[in-house]
């Protein structure tokens, strides 16, 4: 990812080659996989912050919260896929 | 077990705080970048270069890079001390865990220096 950032900021040609590289189906799939993991981590992390503030700390709340995390993550991961393709 | 000596701040409470503060910074940076990319579908080199040349963006990027290093250290330390234990690995656990943490630390340091070079090299 850092290499892509480096290349894309280095020169016009570098930017074009990153852009071209990201059009292949394999590259798109890899980006989607990385993005999916990061999005899930983000959503689960936000849940942690919410639980830190004392919301959803009961057994029922925890179970509900984990289901919400899965559901929200699925939605944003699908949206990310739609955006990439 | 020598575990506390390798955590970020020698204090669990401070680590807890560092993890959350860095998490908020990273979330803001990630959401900003994704939002920027979604808002600029046919992104050109000049626009992209201008974004990262802006001083505010450099500060934000450097902040995110520092946060990433801290967040990663706390996270990998937690994984290492939870799973790379004598119960799982026997006598060699401390050596294995220490090596694992050293690799994580060197990797994060390398990413940090590389990131600074990218940000200030353009």
Q: Which residues of B touch A (CB under 8 A)?
A: 20, 23-24, 27, 30, 38, 43, 45, 48-49, 52, 111, 114-115, 118, 122
Residues of A within 8 A of B30 (CB-CB) are 38, 42
DSSP string, A6-63: HHHHH-HHHHHHHHHHTTSHHHHHHHHHHHHHHHHHHHHHHHHHHHHTTSS-SHHHHH
**B9-27: pLDDT as tens digits:** 878 889 999 999 999 999 9
pLDDT for residue B77 = 92
Whole-angstrom Cα distance, residue B84 to residue B91?
11
| pLDDT of B117 strictly over 70 | yes
- Average pLDDT of the segment spanning A7-18: 84
Residues of A within 8 A of B115 (CB-CB) are 2
pLDDT for residue B2 = 57
Query: What is the CB neighbour count within 10 angstroms for residue A10?
Result: 17
Q: Where are the domains of chain A?
A: 25-84
Domain B4-121 in CATH 1.20.1300.10 = yes
Whole-angstrom Cα distance, residue A64 to residue B57?
38
| pLDDT of A8 strictly over 90 | no
Whether A42 and chain B come into contact, CB under 8 Å, resolves to yes
Q: Enter the CATH code of domain A25-84.
A: 1.20.1300.10
CB-based contact A43:B27 (threshold 8 Å): no
Q: Where are the domains of chain B?
A: 4-121
* Minimal CA separation from A59 to chain B, in Å: 22
Residue with more model confidence, A2 or A46? A46
- Average pLDDT of the segment spanning A40-58: 93
Residue with more model confidence, A28 or B7? A28
Q: Taking the model in full, what pTM does it have?
A: 0.89
Whole-angstrom Cα distance, residue B42 to residue B44?
6
| pLDDT of B122 strictly over 90 | no
């Amino acid at each position: 990812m850092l290499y892509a950032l480096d290349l894309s900021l280095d020169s016009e040609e570098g930017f074009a080659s990153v852009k071209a590289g990201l059009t292949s189906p394999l590259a798109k799939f890899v980006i989607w996989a990385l993005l999916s993991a990061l999005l899930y981590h983000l959503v689960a992390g936000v849940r942690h912050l919410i639980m830190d503030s004392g919301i959803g700390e009961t057994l029922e709340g925890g179970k509900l919260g984990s289901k919400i995390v899965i559901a929200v993550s699925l939605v944003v991961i699908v949206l990310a896929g739609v955006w990439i393709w | 077990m020598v575990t506390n000596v390798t955590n970020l701040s020698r204090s669990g409470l401070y680590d807890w705080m560092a993890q959350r503060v860095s998490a908020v910074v990273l979330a803001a940076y990630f959401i900003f970048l994704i939002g920027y990319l979604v808002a600029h579908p046919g992104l050109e080199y000049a626009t992209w270069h201008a974004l990262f040349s802006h001083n505010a963006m450099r500060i934000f990027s450097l902040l995110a890079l520092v946060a990433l290093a801290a967040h990663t250290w706390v996270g990998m330390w937690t994984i290492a001390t939870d799973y790379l234990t004598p119960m799982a690995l026997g006598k060699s656990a401390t050596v294995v865990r220490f090596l694992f943490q050293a690799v994580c630390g060197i990797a994060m340091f390398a990413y940090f220096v590389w990131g600074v070079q990218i940000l200030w090299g353009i």
